[in-house]
Structure 1
Amino acid sequence: MNTEITSFNSTFFEYLCGFIWFDQDKLEALMKRYPIGATEQGESIFWHINAENKITNGHIITMDSETGKVYDDSWYYQDGRPTCMFGEHLLGAFPSQTVALVTDELTAAVMSCFPTPYIWLAIEKDNVTSSDLLPLKGRSVVVFPNKGECNKWEECLRQIPNLNVHVSDVMENSQGDCHNIAQMVLSQQPLRPTEEEAALMRMVDANPNIALLVKALNLEVVGVSSIDEDAMKPISKSEVKTEPPPQIEDDEAMKSFLMAQEKRWNGRNPECHKCSRSHEGINGTYCDELHQYVEYGKGDCGR
């Protein structure tokens, strides 16, 4: 199997790119913390690196790049070397920092991108022993079990002496279908807009009335096409049709649009929106005479 030791061309990084939070700087910093590779099929390989900076093995994760759902997993490069925790190579660089321990590499990698006071490590074992946690001896450790596994971890850690460990119940108290802390945090992150959504945002930014029209008519952007250069050329007055606009009195959707627009005008003069020297902006009535937004009860231009 051909693999790349480090690669952004995997379903894991494709999934993260779907969130606004994960910009290029955060993704590059993530790769420096935990070298993450990829197979030819785009599966992610989370390398386990020990204190001597040697790879002990790699966990191959098959996941959906849109939902983050993990479908399958396997192991690579197990040749008899003793395995280690994912992220164990970071312990020497941060000797006094509290360790956050989770049960899978994907969770550790994701959580490391958010501002917390922890080094995030993962241990992929159902039955943890004292030898597995030996590298954490003398350190403060906070375990973040998956939902429903808090009691299992507490029972397991009672059998391991001389370890300063706190088991967090944050997932036991969480609402919704999130299984681990990474899913819970990501569920609160805004998604990066699609090409269609971005196009709509640009149109709304250019003309806020479009947002009201989209809402009133329940419109949806279904595609984005390139703009014809001829369509961008200025139109002469002779080309402008002077036909009267169609009657819209019986159009309920347009009525609701006009009513919503009417509510947003907040100039001192109730007729401001009919004045040729004003227009509706994002924050209300913008007076071209005063060159500022006109708030209710303020800024009378005298017209």
Structure 2
Amino acid sequence: MTGKGQNGKPGQTSPKASIGYIPPKYVERSQSVHSNFFRFISSLLDSYYGSKAKEVLKRLLEEYRLGATRDGAVIFWQIDRTNRVRTGKVMQYNPEDGHRIKGGEVSAVDWIHSILKRQRVLPEDWQLSQCLFGEHLLNVYPDKVAVLVESEKSAVIGSALFPGYVWLATGGKSQLREEKLRVLSGRTVLLFPDADGYSEWKQHARDMTYCKVVVSDIIEKNATPEQKAAHIDIADWIVFQIRESKIMCTANHLVEAEKVLRRMIEKNPVLQKLIDDFDLVLVSTSPIGSGDENPP
């Protein structure tokens, strides 16, 4: 196949674009608790853990390298398994309810690589190649089960409540692509789709033959019609349960997933085929303990 080369001349083979990286100094400079998103999770975890919330928040800040802009937007950095920075996703949240601010004068999403291009720090031909949010934690916790969600917010809140797992985010429903998911090869992975993504993610799971996958139906089976219409995700579900003082035991739900996988592996090592054949999903939910437990 022929095309335009680097000089734009037809008939030359186009070289594969190299992945662009962002200097880590931008991550270090931005790390801060002064985002509206961090204010929201601080309030949420204070209500759940009380005085113990500070150490949980410190862990989240350091592990996910959460950043903040001058106007209080959060920066969700995408750092790959080699600890190189791909980009940062900049979003503004309401500090009261934790919902994204999508309209009005505030831009829904901005990107650090786009900002640096506008500032002429990065060249115009700099090439973005996204990775999973939290991907760098796979090497930090090689033996933990990975939990994959859609939004960065869900990954952070999930990690706050259930630190026994590595919480990762695709960054969007359309980002459930093999080139991003290959880093999960050989891992046990639990998928928590949003309320409007269950069928789509269940279909995608059939193609993830390079890892052991279970798709959770906790929202599909338990969310109200109103919650489904609002397209809630696992973070919304956890927040709702905390505020209603009747949080469902997502922890038990996760543990049940691991038990299902172990039983299936013992019976048949071709785990993915069994998942495909039986449309395996999770069904277990039960009450979680009170906020008196030790924080992660």
TM-score (norm 1): 0.59
State the secondary structure of the residue aligned to 2:139.
coil
Percent pairwise identity: 28
Give the C-alpha shift of residue 82 in structure 1. Answer: 2.2
Match of 1:158 among 191, 203, 206: 206
Which amino acid letter does the alignment assign opposite residue 129 of structure 2?
A: P
Distance in 1 of aligned mates of 2:96 and 2:63: 24
Higher strand share: 1
Look up the equivalent residue of 1:154 and give its one-letter code. K
Residue number in structure 2 paired with 1:80: 127
Determine the structure 2 residue equivalent to 1:247: none
CA contact (8 A) 1:129 1:160 kept: no
1:95 aligns with 2:142: yes
1:146–1:171 Cα contact (<8 Å) kept: yes
Unaligned runs of 5+ in 2: 1-25, 102-107, 115-125, 245-296
* Aligned partner of 1:184 among 237, 250, 270: 237
> Corresponding residue for 1:148?
196
Say whether 1:38 aligns with 2:68.
yes
Over the aligned positions, Cα root-mean-square deviation in angstroms equals 2.1
Contact 2:77 2:133 in 1 (8 A): yes
Q: Could you say if the C-alpha distance between residues 128 and 175 of structure 1 is closer, same or farther in structure 2, counting changes exceeding 3 Å?
A: closer
The residue matched to 2:241 in structure 1 has which SS? coil
Give the 5 Å matches for 1:251-270: none
Gaps of 5+ in 1: 192-303
> Superposed, which structure 2 residues align to 1:177-256 within 5 Å?
177=227, 179-190=232-243
1:240-284 Cα distance to aligned partner (Å, 9 max, x none): xxxxxxxxxxxxxxxxxxxxxxxxxxxxxxxxxxxxxxxxxxxxx
CA contact (8 A) 1:47 1:59 kept: yes
* 1:86 and 1:123 in contact (8 A); partners too: yes
Count residues with an aligned counterpart.
190
The answer to whether structure 1 residue 113 and structure 2 residue 160 are counterparts is yes
Q: Does structure 2 conserve the Cα–Cα contact (< 8 Å) formed by 1:34 and 1:87?
A: yes
TM-score scaled by length of structure 2: 0.60
Runs of 4+ in 1 over 4 A off after TM superposition: none
> Any conservation in 1 of the 2:130–2:180 contact (CA below 8 Å)?
no
Partner of 1:123: 170
Larger radius of gyration: 1
1:25 aligns with 2:55: yes
Deviation at 1:115, TM superposition (A): 2.9
Greater RCO (Cα-Cα under 8 Å, separation 6 or more)? 2
Higher-helix-fraction structure = 2
- 2:117 aligned with 1:64: no
